[in-house]
Amino acid sequence: MSRVRRNKGQIWEHYVEAGKFNSCHKKAICNYCGEEMRGVYENMYKHSVKVCKEITQELRLKIIETRKKANGIDDFHEEESEESIDDLHNHVLQNQVPKFLMHISLKSLL
């Protein structure tokens, strides 16, 4: 019985495929900070939205919106997924935007 290959998702736009992580998964390297991880959507998504310190706020929000659109069409756990996506979106807005604005404010004082 042969394995069915899945298409790469849009999240891969933000990662480089770098060989095999293990016998089942590809290795993914973040385009922004260089962190290596198992090329699994959830790992890559969480890294992009919550962990990566080098990705821009604009890209974070784009990744979140892309997931929201995909979940509205494809996800059979839509309510659960939408809630967790909204939580991530709120996390980004609460934790990243104030830091960015503070950074801009400090630069204007110099």
Count of domains in the chain?
Answer: 1
Residues in Cβ contact with 75 at an 8 Å cutoff, skipping those fewer than 6 apart: 81
Q: What is the pLDDT of residues 23-66, one digit of tens each?
A: 888 899 999 999 999 999 999 999 999 999 999 999 999 999 98
Whether 14 maps to a domain, the answer reads no
Q: Which domain holds residue 75?
A: 56-110
- The pLDDT, as a whole number, for residue 85 is 65
Per-residue b/e over 79-94, b at no fewer than 16 CB within 10 Å? Answer: eebeeebeebbeebee
Task: Tell me if 2 is assigned to some domain.
Answer: no
